[in-house]
Amino acid sequence: MSFKGKILRLLGRLQSAFKKPPKKRSNRLKFQPPEIATLPALIHKDLPKVPVSSAIQEFSLVQLSPHSRRAYAADLQDFFKFLSGRGIWAHWNQEMSPLLIAEYREYLVIDRALAKSTTTRKLAVVKSFCKWALSRGWIEKNPADLIRSFPQTQDSKTAYLNNAEVAQLLSSFPPMEGSRLFRALSRVTVETLLMLGLRRSEAASIHMKDLERLEGSWTLRVHGKGDRARVLPLPERLMETWSEWLLRLHPEDCPRASLAADPEAWIRFLKQHSSDPLLVSTRAKTFDAPLSTSEIGRIVRQAARRSGLSQRVTPHALRATAITHALDEGASHRGIQQMAGWTSPLMITRYDKRRKDHRFSAIHHLSYAKQPERGQVEPVIVVGPNES
């Protein structure tokens, strides 16, 4: 072999030595992460299959108030309608999850643009229903335990009427005698709500047997939330209005004198008509059908518009007006709680519409903060030995 051939052979060996070896092919496939997909719900065979209608009906029946039954059933129907849009219906108790309830909260706030207070109320119904379902053995775990609601504020958005607006509303009604029956009913309804601070459901449930004569005074037994009853005194102006109203309904046997003037005759009359409602529906053929809560709301709104008030007035606004004005007149918190039928005095703060008004600040009652008049000697405050 020539010298040139030897050099070429040596260069070939060096080139092959520094060259990377080829990779061996493998029959194994490369690892690929699985695609994220919605896993099908696990159907638990040990959980019972509960129809939606049966679940709503059973949960609603355990509530005491008929109004609460209707409201709870409506909120639950709204919740299950949302679940049906997600493809959940027959096996709702097996497919409900905290994520779904959180999505329902966002749906109420964003898609339906409901107020946070309304959303919190609807979530409270769902949470109460989940607790009930857990106690009945319909679900394994409570999916609403981890869901947070919006914090409740201490301010109520319910409107109220000031002194001038109250006078404007009350003066807009014509005299009871000679007016149309519906206008007379409007006057009785508005004055009853405004002068007793009742809820609309409480006003709709007043019957003749609820008027009582106790210790020489006329009182009204009100049936409130949770089947709790309270006794309220009747104001003089309201007694006069009720007397004229009942005379319109029962002109044959109703006493001509007012409740305050002839109590004995009224006691006999109330016993004869104990089952009759006070606020009757003018749409019925006979005066034995009580007003519904929706009719009371319609009557109040029409009366407010007829009086010239620009704001929207509701029965709840009249209740807040009574509470606020009673506080302004110096009523105690105990008296306000008894009038409103609240179990907790914390509600008084929410319904006090003037608590943020600087004109009612306690600073105005500080005697030492007032500027003394000219020539008046400023009082000397003596500090005791234990005071600092």
Residue that wins the pLDDT comparison between 352 and 337: 337
Tell me if 274 is assigned to some domain.
yes
305 and 189 within one domain? yes
Residues 248 and 331 in one domain: yes
* Residue partners of 205: CB distance under 8 A and separation at least 6: 223, 290
Instruction: For residues 129 and 254, state if they share a domain.
Output: no
The verdict on 172 and 130 lying in the same domain is no
Q: Is there a single domain that holds both residue 303 and residue 180? A: yes
In a shared domain, residues 195 and 112? no
The predicted structure's pLDDT at residue 273: 94
Residue 330 has pLDDT above 50, yes or no: yes
* This model's pTM is above 0.85: no
- Domain extent, residue 249, equals 163-354
Q: Are residues 120 and 254 in the same domain?
A: no
Phi, psi of 219 (to 5 degrees): -130, 165
CB of 207 within 8 A of CB of 276? yes
Residues 62-72 have pLDDT tens digits of 887 777 889 99
Q: How far is 53 from 22, CA to CA, in rounded Å? A: 70
Tell me if 329 sits within 8 A of 316, measured CB to CB.
no
Question: How many whole angstroms separate alpha carbon 43 and alpha carbon 45?
Answer: 6
208 shares a domain with 120: no
CATH number, domain of 304, equals: 1.10.443.10
* Radius of gyration, CA atoms only, the chain: 36
Query: Are residues 222 and 113 part of one domain?
Result: no
pLDDT greater than 70 at residue 245: yes
Kindly state whether residues 130 and 182 are assigned to the same domain: no
Q: Does residue 284 belong to any structural domain of this protein? A: yes
Whether residue 44 has pLDDT greater than 70: no
d(CA 160, CA 162): 7
Q: How many CA atoms lie within 13 A of 95 on its CB side?
A: 16
362 found inside a domain: no
pLDDT at position 117 over 80: yes
Do 93 and 175 lie in one domain? The reply is no
Tell whether 103 and 186 lie within a shared domain.
no
With respect to residue 345, please indicate whether it lies within any of the assigned structural domains: yes
- Specify the pLDDT at position 17: 59
Interval 370-384: pLDDT, tens: 777 766 655 555 555
Counting the structural domains of the chain, the total is 2
